[in-house]
Amino acid sequence: MKITEILVAEHRLFLRLFAQIERLLPRVRAAGEVRRLAALVEALLAEHGATETEVAYPALDHMLHDRGRLERLHQEHEEIDASLRAVQTAADAPEARRLLAAALERSRAHFLFEERELFPRLEDALQPETLAGLAAARAQREGGS
């Protein structure tokens, strides 16, 4: 399996999770519950984002014409993280719900950009064996085999 396939599969899983949260969100009345949902999303995205920034993005770093795109991706990761952390300080449940919904939408847009811009460049720039090697490096980084 290639690193790009793994990352896209994770995106699909996140999108299903986001949809479930969005269905639940209007009925969540306590800000604390929204905060717990945001913390869950943040923790899951942190691991995914670490894979991207430590394994996938460096593979394109040498391609000068992609530097601006990579900076954008790093910035988007930081913005998504900040928007999820903002949920933790929301004044009330409606604000927390609004902030979490915005963070989920921002994450969706980021995934789409990666799938349309970054991942095809990885596929074009690297041999299938290298992409598989990056997947193996990810598994090793996570303590897998």
- How far apart are the C-alpha atoms of 57 and 67, rounded to whole Å? 10
Q: For residue range 78-108, what is the model confidence (pLDDT) as tens digits?
A: 999 999 999 999 999 999 999 999 999 999 9
What distance in Å separates the CA atoms of residue 136 and residue 130, rounded to the nearest whole number?
A: 10
The half-sphere exposure of 106 on its side-chain side, counting CA atoms within 13 A, is 20
Tokens 């915005």 appear where? 102
Neighbours of 78 (CB within 10 A): 11
CA 133 to chain centre: 21
Q: What pLDDT shows up at residue 57?
A: 80
Name the DSSP letter for residue 89.
T
**The pLDDT value given to residue 141:** 76
8 pLDDT band, cuts 50/70/90, is very high
DSSP code at position 1: -
- When pLDDT is cut at 50, 70 and 90, the band that residue 19 belongs to is very high
